[in-house]
């Protein structure tokens, strides 16, 4: 033990003598608002800047002009465009050689790929550059659907020093299904930062609901998630249609944007939900809008570790979610929320009905969820665990 401590002191002194910070390069597909992208920018903002020098490589053509760019700029974190049309071919080769040169020139200590595309593109070139610690990420359950993509991602991830799983469920899947050694897997969950979740006043809440077209006195449930097939908002709409005879004042607010917007609007009309369904589009204050809901719902068919549930729970809003992937690591059924099977609108309707009918139970569940999230998924504790992982990998690199 004394020898190990002495070696650590020597490494720390050596780094201090070089007046050096650990150089971390994030790799992300785009600057759009999504769970992975928001988690990356929040992490970059909270890393200890006296110890870590952070830069970001962005892969999507034009992606570095997305809405999250301003947050990186405000934090003084450079975003470097490496646009690739495909993950293979001459263009990808050219950008890969550029990345290798950048990592060597920057003397990067840590290369952290945050998503599927950056795993495949970045991990190989980071290893070629001799980066001391190369981290791949697994933040999804079953995606991508194409077998060749899954194989290539698995191969790329095996080149990394660690694969970062954002939930214990994902870590177990990596070990049992994809045969990764437990020693190669690090679990660093998503987190919530209370600084971004300031409470609305009663007047602000009323104003927002009025802006979205929700009448005064309505019972409101909602969802904050991209309008993508995997999020299965259609099941929520079908559940609402089952509930409206019992709850004629029920309205739904759906926060987010995506390719399913038109389909969902059409389904709403077909279910004769009239003016009960309100689409807000993409909003910068999306995470705070859970406060508008009596219950927040997530109907995903597949999940890694959903930020939106953490955000709702941190604001003491009771949640009903499908029991898929990492949602089981967030919600304790019956205590901090309710879990239902995916694509079963009648079961979802029953769960929502129970919380609408028993406000005392809903309130108690929301408060229990808030205590749990703050204790287990607080920003500082989670980011500190990532910083420790960086330190350990670099010290052994």
**In this predicted model, what pLDDT tens digit does every residue of 202-234 receive, in sequence order?**
999 999 999 999 999 999 999 999 999 999 999
- Which one-letter DSSP state was computed for residue 132? S
pLDDT for 327: 95
pLDDT for 147: 82
pTM equals 0.85
What dihedral angle (degrees, nearest 10) is formed by the CA atoms of 235, 36, 256, 234?
-10
Say yes or no: domain 17-191+378-395 is CATH 3.40.50.11540.
no
- Which one-letter DSSP state was computed for residue 33? S
φ, ψ of residue 200 in degrees (nearest 5): -80, 145
pLDDT for 62: 61
Model pLDDT for residues 85-129, shown as the tens digit of each residue: 888 889 999 999 999 999 999 999 999 999 999 999 999 999 999
Name the residue ranges covered by the structural domains of the chain.
17-191+378-395, 194-376
Radius of gyration for the chain, computed over Cα atoms and rounded to the nearest angstrom: 22
DSSP H or E segment with residue 113: strand 110-113
Q: What is the DSSP string of 219-283?
A: EEEEEES---GGG-HHHHHHHHHHHTTT-TTEEEEEEB--TTHHHHHHHHHHTT-GGGEEEEES-
**Whether the domain at 17-191+378-395 and the domain at 194-376 fall into the same CATH topology:** yes
Q: Which residues pair with 186 in a beta bridge?
A: 164
Which architecture, in CATH terms, is 194-376? 3-Layer(aba) Sandwich (3.40)
What are the residue ranges in the chain where pLDDT is below 50?
Answer: 1-19
């Amino acid at each position: 033990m004394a020898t190990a401590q002495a070696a650590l002191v020597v490494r720390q002194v050596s780094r201090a003598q070089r007046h050096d910070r650990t150089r971390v390069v994030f790799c992300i597909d785009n600057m759009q608002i999504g769970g992975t992208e928001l988690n990356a920018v929040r992490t970059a903002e909270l890393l200890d800047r006296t110890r870590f020098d952070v830069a970001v490589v962005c892969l999507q053509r034009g992606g570095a002009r997305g809405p999250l760019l301003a947050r990186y700029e405000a934090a003084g974190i450079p975003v470097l465009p490496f646009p690739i049309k495909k993950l293979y071919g001459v263009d990808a080769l050219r950008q890969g050689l550029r990345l290798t040169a950048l990592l060597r020139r920057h003397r990067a200590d840590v290369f952290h790929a945050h998503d599927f595309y950056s795993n495949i593109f970045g991990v190989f070139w980071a290893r070629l550059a001799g980066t001391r610690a190369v981290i791949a990420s697994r933040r999804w359950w079953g995606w991508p659907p194409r077998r060749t993509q899954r194989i290539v991602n698995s191969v790329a991830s095996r080149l990394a020093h660690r694969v970062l799983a954002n939930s214990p469920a994902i870590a177990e899947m990596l070990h049992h299904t994809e045969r990764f050694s437990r020693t190669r897997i690090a679990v660093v969950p998503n987190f919530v930062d209370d600084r971004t979740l300031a409470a609305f006043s009663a007047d602000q809440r009323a104003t927002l609901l009025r802006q979205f077209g929700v009448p005064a006195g309505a019972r409101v449930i909602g969802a904050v998630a991209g309008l993508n097939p995997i999020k299965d908002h259609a099941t929520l709409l079908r559940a609402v249609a089952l509930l409206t005879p019992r709850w004629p004042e029920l309205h739904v607010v759906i926060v987010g944007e995506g390719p399913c917007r038109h389909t969902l609007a059409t389904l709403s009309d077909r279910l004769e939900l009239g003016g009960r369904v309100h689409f807000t589009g993409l909003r910068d204050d999306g995470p705070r809008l859970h406060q508008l809901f009596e219950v927040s719902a997530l109907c995903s068919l597949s999940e890694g570790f959903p930020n939106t549930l953490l955000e709702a729970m941190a604001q003491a809003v009771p949640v009903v979610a499908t029991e898929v992937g990492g949602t089981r690591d967030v919600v304790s059924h019956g205590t901090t929320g309710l879990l239902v099977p995916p694509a079963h609108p009648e079961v979802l309707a029953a769960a929502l009905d129970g919380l609408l009918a028993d406000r005392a139970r809903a309130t108690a569940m929301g408060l229990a969820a808030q205590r749990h999230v703050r204790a287990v998924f607080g920003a500082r504790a989670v980011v500190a665990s990532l910083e420790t992982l960086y330190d350990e990998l670099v010290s052994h690199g």
